[in-house]
Homo-oligomer: A and B are copies of this chain.
Amino acid sequence: MRTNQIIVTELPTGALSEENFQMRETVLPEIGEGEIFVRTILMSIDAANRAWMQGATYREAIKVGDAMHTGSLCEVIESKSSHFIAGDIVFAESVWANQAIVPARKAQKMQRVPQLSYLLSVYGIAGKTAFHGLVSIGRPIPGETVVVSAAAGSVGVYVGQIAKAMGCHVVGIAGGSEKCSWVVNELGFDACVDYRDPAWSKTLKGACPNGIDIYFDNVGGEILETVLFRMNERGRIVCCGAVSQYDSNIPSGPRNLPGMVVVKRLRMEGFIVMDFAKDDNKALRALQNWVATGAVKVPEDIVDGLENAPAALIGLLNGNNRGKRIVRVGDDPT
């Protein structure tokens, strides 16, 4: 069986570029026991893709010559696992490819919903990450001020909308005035501050007249450093990502860490969404209710074509996305 894959031809040492990837036709081996053969419908594009190229994280590091790793929504074509049958829709730890063979233990059966893309956004890792991080680590109390960076990003759009739905004052941080307007006007944040504006620290202060109780940090670096100075005592930093550090080998750390954590008695806590798998049903129930009432909107940012995946990822790392970025590789099942 032949398929197109996108291979990592070189591990980036600085900014990721399209030249780090190459499309190749590959012959897939025979499907073995405990495996499933799938066709890719939608691929999730994540900042974490870049982290996997940086070394081992909670997932194995990507090596030169590997097909690029991804989480994908797929249709099962053939199954040699008792857990799946042909026609199942699964979320799989797969690769950038039209078709793939995946160990059954790395696939999870999904419900067929009218909009399959929602399974990768609001009901997928993005929505669940926002929910679990905000609710279980941030522990917001109505009336508190919640700030989220990468506010127009896949997770940020849900963090802010969930915090609003929970009665908080919500301020986003994003790059560029157009993006900030979108966050406020489309998603209903109370304010959104453009970190590219040299005076953004003052703007942030003005937008948070009662200080900051929860900072949902998707970026790390200088933005974290600036926000730390505005945190209230006993504030919480939900450490979800450090996208500002992924694309460079010379990261520099916030100079006020751990000083601010000590003086303001802050709690900084990292997590990955799998840590809260036992609470996924609670998250989905809440998210479904909010989507039904319109309290949480689901922006769609879907790029067409496997061949456009490298550009889609690079664009994401440059902040070009609006909410969850997805690459469509195949049609929805009929």
User: Interface of A with B (CB < 8 Å)?
Assistant: 51, 57-58, 217, 220, 224-225, 233, 237, 239-242, 245, 251-272, 275
Contact A242 B270 (CB under 8 A): no
CA of A240 to CA of B261, assembled, Å: 9
Q: Is the CB of A259 within 8 A of B268?
A: no
Instruction: Please tell me how many copies of the chain the complex holds.
Output: 2
Q: 6 pairs across A/B with beta carbons < 8 Å?
A: A51-B263, A239-B258, A239-B261, A251-B255, A265-B271, A268-B268
Q: Which residues of B contact A237 (CB under 8 A)?
A: 258
Name which residue of chain B comes closest to A55, CB basis.
B263
Which residue of chain B has the shortest Cβ distance to A233 in the bound complex? B58
Contact A253 B254 (CB under 8 A): yes
Question: A272 and B268: CB pair below 8 A?
Answer: no
Chain B residues whose C-beta falls within 8 Å of the C-beta of A245 in the assembled complex: 259
Residue of B nearest to A242 (CB): B259
Residues in B neighbouring A233, C-beta threshold 8 A? 58
When distances are taken between beta carbons in the complex, the residues of chain B under 8 Å from A51 are: 263
Chain B residue with Cβ nearest A237: B258
Q: Which residue of B lies closest to A272 (CB)?
A: B265
Query: A275 CA to B260 CA in the complex, in Å?
Result: 16
Interchain CA distance A195-B269 in the complex, whole Å: 27
Chain B residues positioned under 8 Å from A255 (CB to CB): 251-253
| Residue in contact with A265 in the complex, picked from B224, B225, B266, B270, CB distance below 8 Å | B270
